[in-house]
Chains A and B, each alone.
Chain A
Amino acid sequence: MALLEVDGLSKHFVVNGGVVPRLLGTRKELQAIRNVSFEIEAGQTLGLVGESGAGKSTVGNVITRIYEPTNGTVRYNGANVHELSGSDLQAYRQSVQMVFQDPYTSLDPRYKIGRTIAEPLKIHTDLSKAERKERVSELLETVNLEPEHRDRYPHELSGGQLQRVSIATALALDPEFIILDEPVSALDVSVQARILNLLMELQEEYELSYLFISHNLGVIKHLCDHVAVMYLGEIVEQAPTGELFENPHHPYTEGLLNSVPQPQPGGSKSTDGLTGEIPSALNPPAGCSFHPRCSYATDQCSVDAPPLETLDSERKVACHHWDAVVADQADERSELTHSSVQNDGTK
């Protein structure tokens, strides 16, 4: 059994609510996530990737019960998360933690670092003050901060150090599962490298499972075992990381991978990136929601929404024409190998 099972999850928000719009019939529903399903095994990392407005963060927020789902279930160790109450709920809240993008806003500027880290211990455990202090020191050491950081305020620390404090706070209650929502997006690359190394170390040491939400494909590729690609609230493709990056089956995944500027000049130029922009989630296109931007789209695509099909052991894709996408890539690859043989393969 997987540690976390998300099944058919949907979350709709009412925009323009209130009495008057209801009477006038101008009330609208925004479908932030639609029929999302995935599983995370213990000790594994699932990457959730997509552009802004894809619904990535909403998924994380439903799992942590910040939002109630409109439809579908989230099961953690087999139990429906949204039906938990009392001590079971408290246990769930200890076991599942979250780290956000911007440590400047997720830490209270008036609390010293030590107090921030000790707060979950105060709420969830019956440790004495001295024991809490000791645990805070341990946690600071775990995330490679100095004991004297305990008495500093957030404004005295750099962005990278603050993100470590967020991670220490998340670790305070010995969680099993951490949702990382863009944890390195606000950081410089050299600082990002340290945080990524730390996250990998912690995962190994404490056997943590991660849901890693990011728009940064390079980071996702580095850290995740499996990747789910979201577009306009739906998962369009899911596969083990290596396979997804080497052999994308969904045209959106392919376009997204082609759009990323590679830190290696002269590489593949982004000639076949994505055209157009993401449509509004208030008014998603009929049929496959990607069809207006898709070069493989046919008439069928504007009518029938493709289901998320399970292809082989672990790959799922929601596209009527994935076989054409794969065939095109095979053609391109054979051309590439052909030309690199001619160029004497000086890679």
Chain B
Amino acid sequence: MARLSVTDLSVTYRTGDGDLTAVDRVTFDIQDNEIFGIVGESGCGKSTLGDSFLQLLDENGSISGGSIVYDGMDLAAMTDRELADEVRGNKISMIFQDPNASLDPVYTVGQQLVETITKHLDMNKKAARERAIELLDDVGIPDPEDRIDNYPHSFSGGQLQRIVIAIALSCEPGLLIADEPTTGLDVSIQAQILDLLEELAESHETSIVMITHDLGVVAEICDRVGVMYAGNMVEIAPIQQLFDAPRHPYTQALLDSIPERHGMKEDLTVIPGHPPDLRQPPTGCRYNPRCDQVCGMECETGDVPPTYDVEGTDVMCYLYDEGVNEAYEGPTNIVAEPGGDD
């Protein structure tokens, strides 16, 4: 069953040089107990998408269309107050790249855990403290009874990220949004944190949205993955399928640019050009100026392509449309037209 349904979601930032649509009509579901990856390069809109679920966008950003349905509620239509009281930290919580920035340096980790627990759950301070110790133990902090009264500065980066995860999971949320949770960490610590997240997702029956630029991390823990380019989600596929049979030319090029997929000292595949300025995105498919597989006029004109279902992969590309790509022998399954405004 879908735990979160995002439909035609757009997020727009107002800037001095005009409006910038950082997330453009994105549609996807997250199933129960699923780890869903959102992958893309800097500026593709993946963090904006993650921030929009709890309306944590910057001052100049707002949801300009579409819906985010969780547990029967449309998060996109809720006020800040309603979200703070009913959703944030309670039903949906979020962790970020830098645990130092997520924790308050002048409170002990225990105080920060207890605060979250007593705010959302009907527990007195004593019970909350016991629960906090259990949580620290769950995330692998040694001697939690003693360490609970320490301040953040006395923990290492990996341990701090574990504590942030403990706080995020303290109220048994149904969904955890993890935005580059292991990017600042060493590989050995990263592997430990990924294992921990996977384990906890299963034991707490939490679904995870894993936002990352690292295709290795995606391959390691995600069940399904959405690839973003210039604000569009250009491809959604089960993990194995994405790596074995990438459908979108951008996904193909992205995978080909990873050194691990090449022989030693072999030239790596390079994507020509740069991502577009989203204040003036190209007409047609947003990837067309860099694409080596442009197959018809439609690629370069009009709106973004519809989404096609190709053997279980959702892909926004005319290559899979018999009417545009003469070389394609079908079948053509349009699952969504670029709906929404314009």
Taking Cβ atoms with an 8 Å cutoff, the residues of A that contact B are 51-52, 158, 188-194, 196-197, 200, 215, 217-219, 221-223, 241-242, 255-256, 258-267, 269-270, 273-275, 277-278
Contact = CB atoms under 8 A, between A and B. Distances in A.
Given A221-B264, A270-B194, A263 B188 contact: no
B302 interface: no
A16 to B, nearest CB: 17
Contacts of A191: 41
A221 B243 CA distance: 21
A275 B214 CA distance: 22
Contact of B260 (A52, A194, A218): A218
A196 B267 CA distance: 8
A265 B245 CA distance: 12
Interface in B158-178: 158-159
Contact of A262 (B156, B213, B220, B255): B220
B219 A262 contact: yes
B186 interface: yes
Given A200-B265, A223-B265, 13 more contacts: A51-B186, A188-B42, A189-B213, A190-B270, A193-B259, A221-B260, A222-B268, A223-B259, A260-B216, A261-B216, A263-B216, A264-B260, A275-B192
B106 interface: no
Interface in B178-214: 186-192, 194-195, 213-214
B290 to A, nearest CB: 10
A194 B258 contact: no
Contacts of A222: 259-260, 262, 264-266, 268
A4 to B, nearest CB: 21
A268 B265 CA distance: 24
Contacts of A275: 192
B257 interface: yes
Interface of B: 41-42, 156, 158-159, 186-192, 194-195, 213-220, 239-240, 243, 253-255, 257-262, 264-271, 274
A190 B273 CA distance: 10
A277 B159 CA distance: 9
Q: What secondary structure prevails in chain B residues at the interface with A?
A: helix
A302 B154 CA distance: 26
14 contacts: A189-B254, A193-B270, A196-B259, A218-B258, A222-B265, A255-B188, A260-B216, A261-B214, A263-B261, A265-B220, A266-B240, A270-B220, A273-B188, A275-B192
A202 to B, nearest CB: 13
Contact of A267 (B186, B189, B219, B269): B219
Nearest to A266: B240
A256 B42 contact: no
Contact of B186 (A215, A269, A270): A215
B282 to A, nearest CB: 17
A263 B191 contact: no
B260 to A, nearest CB: 5
A240 B190 CA distance: 26
What are the 9 A-B residue pairs with the smallest beta carbon separation, nearest first? A261-B216, A222-B259, A193-B257, A274-B188, A193-B268, A261-B220, A51-B186, A259-B191, A188-B41
Contacts of A270: 191, 194-195, 220
A89 to B, nearest CB: 34
Nearest to A257: B187
Contacts of B189: 277
B257 A190 contact: yes
B219 A256 contact: no
Nearest to B41: A188
B41 A190 contact: yes
Given A189-B41, A197-B270, A260 B257 contact: no
A263 B187 contact: no
Nearest to A255: B188
Given A51-B187, A215-B187, A221-B260, A264 B270 contact: no
B156 A277 contact: yes
Contacts of B194: 261, 270
A290 to B, nearest CB: 12
Nearest to A160: B274
Contacts of A274: 188, 191-192
B253 A190 contact: yes
B216 A262 contact: yes
